[in-house]
Structure 1
Amino acid sequence: MSIDSPRAQQQVPWRLRDASLKRILAQQDWGSVAATLAVIIGLLIAQACLNGPRSRPFQVTDATIAYPLLGSTIPYWLVILIGVVSVVGSILAAELWLARRGYADASDALAACLYFFLDAVSAFFVTGLATEVSKRVVGRLRPNFLSLCDPAVPNPVTVSYGQPASANPACTAPESSELTDAHYSFPSGHASSAFALSVWVCIYCLWVLNARQPRRTAKALAALSLRERLAQSLGAAAGLFWCLALLGWAWAVGVSRITDFKHHPSDVAAGAFLGTLVATFYAVWAIFRLELVVLCPLSAELAPSGGCVASDGCSAGTEPGASLLHGPGGARVYQDQSSV
């Protein structure tokens, strides 16, 4: 059904209870999900084939791995909890509130919610598995390794260079999961997960606040009252504060891993880079493919040249190939799935 049909000229009730689960699932970009699953399976196979950390030579006199054992200031479960809450909260706020007038009905909005949530989950799992594979390949010792290993100290103590890992002094501590984990320093899993989720949310929020909605013309801006302008500015400021808070949280997680003697600074930097890289790729990929999930709202008015005009009076352009992705560029003609 095109937007110039009789139904398209009517305001469609926007109610969550009318959402269609079948339609929500049918509108997903399952090809991208399948590609991510293939990557995850490949990383799981690589992790299984590695079968433990790589052995690295060490000296009992190495001060960089002789720090004391401390607990984690920020446990990993808290990193995941705050990350998931920020992702879900940001998506729901944008898709069900800010963009309520940008969709035909609740099914479209919920389809977009699920679409972005799956994308964020994909970024998280790919980052996590890439981190775990890297830990096993590198096998770098944590700063507190000697405290866990408690190696036998030769008498007299000698320092030799270029020795293989087989020449390492034996650990007197019994084998345990904690001792094995002491070989998994590079990169930091806490940092990579925190930055992956935080950066994904920041990119999504920046897009929603600055490029998602149709841009107002100078005439439309001049017609706004002082109260409307203030509300608009406060909304943008709140979004900026939210993004800065998430980035600050990710930074705090990384710093805590250094002060807790769980990771070297380079481990945290590598984890932050990995999480940022994967999150940026997935967020940008999802934004540019949103038009495969939802199209132009049914309640939009028909423009003279065949394009759409947003219901709030801001021009959405007239290009027939544009979408919700491009605020100033217009919106595509909405095709009702039920009429196919």
Structure 2
Amino acid sequence: MRDEDNATGVAPSPPPTLTPPPTTTATATATSAQRRLTRRFLVELAIVTVLVIPICICEVAIEPVRRGFFCDDDSIRYPFHENTVTPVMLGLLVGALPLLVLVLVEYVHSLRAGELARRVQLGSWQLAAWYVELGRQFAYFGFGMLLTFDATELGKYTIGRLRPHFYAVCQPQLSDGTLCSDASNRQRYVEDYECAGEGYTAADVRQARLSFPSGHSSLAFYALLYVALYLQRKLSWRSSKLARHFLQFLLLMLAWYTALSRVMDSWHHWSDVLAGSLIGVAGALLTAHYIAHFFATPYAAVTLGSGLRREDTSATLQEEVCPATPPPYCVNDDRYCTKV
């Protein structure tokens, strides 16, 4: 048979090659992507857990540093007042309000772009594209909030500064049985004392030693400044150029009023509020710049040297170049024809 093939000049046919079916390759790619997604989720969950644990420990198991005081220190002798901005109101201000704004803006942004029905593959699930973007923005916001909260708690429990209403809540009794009101103790520095205040719980006395920095101020400024920066990045009001800036002003005034109320209610010294506000502002700016990339220039807004605007040519490659170019130079998949 070999001699006959050689005699007739017909080249022997090569042996058949086995190629994996396309479904097998697609399944392997999907499985690999799902593994990467799961691994990334677990890593980020571990990071969030590490950030949450110190907050829980500080709130439940750790006592703040026990600082002494001068008996004639008038800065800690203010009367006790209830909070103007209660913890529940603060939670709505820094939690519910930002999340509501994120949902509305992402929905409107997708609606205007005509991408409300677009779906993306996320692991083994198909989700609306704006859900994925909303989840990403939630993650950015929550991560920055945890960083700000951790920095605030570290300051509170390390410094242990006495609140302006400390004397009214604690009503300290010195170890020798005397009181600060005694003439002999007017300029005395006291470290060994017991709180004999009536009408206040141990939790109230503990809170009276957590003045620096102001948690209300840091969380309010972080959350509301971050939302203001988010609106600058995402929101465009076609009927008015001032509406967005008015909303940003209202958000910052809410944060400013929250900070001012802490001094007004004698829960913090002015320096506590200043430090807390700076922590919140720094947290919002760092999160917006380095994590959410709000300050990055959009790709389409970059201009070339001749004044031409840079364009994304990936759609042209996929729709026009790839179909007209034979393999293996251009194959209409992610391995060969991608964004330029």
TM-score range (shorter-chain normalised) is 0.5 to 0.7
Does 1:158 pair with 2:185?
Answer: yes
Worse-matched range after superposition: 51-60 or 62-71? 51-60
| 1:61-98 Cα distance to aligned partner (Å, 9 max, x none) | 21000000111111121121122233223222222112
TM-score by length of 1: 0.65
* CA–CA separation in structure 2 for the residues paired with 1:334 and 1:99: 26
CA 29–93 in structure 1, closer or farther in 2 if over 3 Å, else same: farther
SS in 2 for 1:170: strand
- Specify which of 197, 200, 205 is matched with residue 173 of structure 1: 197
SS in 1 for 2:70: coil
The 5 Å alignment of 1:250-269 reads: 250-269=255-274
SS in 2 for 1:288: coil
CA 83–52 in structure 1, closer or farther in 2 if over 3 Å, else same: same
CA 70–46 in structure 1, closer or farther in 2 if over 3 Å, else same: closer
* CA–CA separation in structure 1 for the residues paired with 2:271 and 2:191: 22
Q: Which runs of 5+ in 1 are unaligned?
A: 1-21, 211-230, 297-302, 304-314, 321-332, 336-340
| 1:214-248 Cα distance to aligned partner (Å, 9 max, x none) | xxxxxxxxxxxxxxxxx6251x4221111111100
SS in 1 for 2:195: coil
Opposite residue 159 of structure 2, the aligned amino acid is: V
Alpha carbons 1:141, 1:182 under 8 Å: kept: yes
Opposite residue 194 of structure 2, the aligned amino acid is: A
Residue 46 of structure 1: how far off its partner (Å):
7.0
Alpha carbons 1:205, 1:239 under 8 Å: kept: yes
* CA–CA separation in structure 1 for the residues paired with 2:283 and 2:41: 19
Opposite residue 238 of structure 2, the aligned amino acid is: Q
Opposite residue 193 of structure 1, the aligned amino acid is: L
Return the structure number with greater strand share.
2
Does 1:98 pair with 2:109?
Answer: yes
Partner residue, 1:226: none
SS in 1 for 2:184: coil
Residue 157 of structure 1: how far off its partner (Å):
3.2
CA 46–82 in structure 1, closer or farther in 2 if over 3 Å, else same: closer
The 5 Å alignment of 1:238-317 reads: 238-288=243-293, 317=311
Identity percentage of aligned residues: 25
The 5 Å alignment of 1:113-152 reads: 113-152=134-173
CA 257–29 in structure 1, closer or farther in 2 if over 3 Å, else same: farther
Opposite residue 144 of structure 1, the aligned amino acid is: H
CA 268–319 in structure 1, closer or farther in 2 if over 3 Å, else same: farther
Partner residue, 1:203: 229
Alpha carbons 2:220, 2:255 under 8 Å: kept: yes
Alpha carbons 1:86, 1:201 under 8 Å: kept: no
Partner residue, 1:75: 86
Partner residue, 1:108: 129
CA 334–147 in structure 1, closer or farther in 2 if over 3 Å, else same: farther
SS in 1 for 2:183: coil
Residue 278 of structure 1: how far off its partner (Å):
1.5
Alpha carbons 2:148, 2:280 under 8 Å: kept: yes
Opposite residue 222 of structure 2, the aligned amino acid is: A
Does 1:189 pair with 2:195?
Answer: no
* CA–CA separation in structure 2 for the residues paired with 1:50 and 1:316: 56
Opposite residue 206 of structure 1, the aligned amino acid is: Q
* CA–CA separation in structure 1 for the residues paired with 2:251 and 2:103: 17
Opposite residue 51 of structure 2, the aligned amino acid is: I
Opposite residue 136 of structure 1, the aligned amino acid is: Y
Alpha carbons 1:27, 1:111 under 8 Å: kept: no
Alpha carbons 2:109, 2:235 under 8 Å: kept: no
Residue 172 of structure 1: how far off its partner (Å):
1.8
Does 1:43 pair with 2:54?
Answer: yes
Residue 277 of structure 1: how far off its partner (Å):
1.4
* CA–CA separation in structure 2 for the residues paired with 1:51 and 1:132: 11
Partner residue, 2:16: none
The 5 Å alignment of 1:225-244 reads: 232-234=238-240, 236-244=241-249
Partner residue, 2:125: none
- The structure with the largest alpha-carbon Rg is 2
Alpha carbons 2:229, 2:294 under 8 Å: kept: no
Q: Which runs of 5+ in 2 are unaligned?
A: 1-32, 120-127, 174-178, 301-308, 315-331, 335-340
Opposite residue 206 of structure 2, the aligned amino acid is: T
